[in-house]
Amino acid sequence: MASPAIIPLDAIQSAPIDLTTSFDSSQISGSTILITGGASGLGAAFAHHWASLGANIIIGDVNQPLSERLIAGLRSQTSNSNHHFIPLDVTSWTSQLSFFEEAVRLSPTGGIDCVVANAGINLAEESLTFEKPPDYHGQLVTTSQGKKLAPPAPPQFKTVDVNLTGVLYSSHLAHAYLPLNPGSTKCNPNPHPGPATSFKSEAANKDRHLLLIASIAGLWPLPNQTLYSVSKHAVVGLFRSLRVTSPVRHGIRVNMLCPYFTATPILGTAGKVMLSGAALTEMRDVVAAATRLVADRTVVGRGWLSARGGGGRRISGRFRWGGRERRLGGICA
């Protein structure tokens, strides 16, 4: 067990991201990037953009037809055969382990530069688990014949299984596989702020990066979305914990992206109704923020709130919600 004296007590992070400075997106070229839940929504948008920048994209998803169409499109558009789809159920440890192992085998470099833990769901019926609990007491009452009914089934928490357990599996495996990336070196926890340095050789361009996709729901509770909020708050907690130790112990950059409401399949009908008349975050802004975190190797241990109205900003202690400025419970990235 490590001595408490050598365990950092604060976040290991680079200087705040200066959004007025440029960065070299070509750093993505040649990288092998794994994206869970990459068949649609943000994952697909990331895949398209990063493939256009020269990355080798490997997506994992449960939707095989959609995934295969996406990969076929990427190969056609980029003339790069190193884009792949691997069937993945993020709630299954065996499936995740196979995903990582097969990704290493398929990677043209024999390693993984970046893992994007993106897979997530928000099931409408599950969202009301606490708002509309079943009548368990009524189901357990003894009948007139003196017989008790079978105990009711436990509630389903698939949202938590996918959004939290799946992310934990992906993050755990990322910590096992990223340090094995051939030619990679430990990240610099205290790089100088400014544009990313242009590397002189392909070997020096290898990375060890874990990007966690959280949500505004990880910073502020959403009414009638308890399970989704719980899962995303947990991802924020995971980020805040890993950025303390991962750069030092494993040389891994751990960053987090918290998109505001974006027009993706996960938003669902209920979400669209709730946000009726409100501006959504543009997909291109979320992609741009994620690209900065992936490409700029000087960014270590930082969270980014991609908010409506263009671009994004570092997460601070306050956020405007419902026309008023509110505190975010001490969240500060």
Count of CA atoms in the C-beta half-sphere (13 A) of 23: 22
- Average pLDDT per 10 consecutive residues for the chain, totaling 333 residues: 52 78 92 98 97 99 98 99 99 99 98 98 88 82 68 90 99 99 89 44 74 93 88 97 94 94 57 52 87 94 74 42 40 41
Residue 140 located in a structural domain: no
Quick check: helix, strand or coil at residue 257? strand
Residue 72 located in a structural domain: yes
Residue 1 located in a structural domain: no
Report pTM: 0.85
State the CATH number of the domain containing residue 206: 3.40.50.720
Return the pLDDT at 152.
80
Contact 34, 116 (CB under 8 A): yes
| Structure letter (DSSP) for residue 199 | P
Q: How many domains does the chain have?
A: 1
Residue 27 located in a structural domain: yes
Return the pLDDT at 313.
43
Q: Which domain holds residue 119?
A: 22-132+154-327
**Rounded CA gap, 217 and 124, in Å?**
15
Residue 3 located in a structural domain: no
**Rounded CA gap, 36 and 141, in Å?**
45
Return the pLDDT at 137.
79
C-alpha 107: how far from its chain's center? Answer: 21
Q: CA-based diameter of the chain, in Å? A: 82
Residue 9 located in a structural domain: no
Residue 149 located in a structural domain: no
Look at the block and give the residue holding tokens 């068949």. 39
Residue 145 located in a structural domain: no
Contact 88, 64 (CB under 8 A): no
Tokens found for residue 56? 């080798």
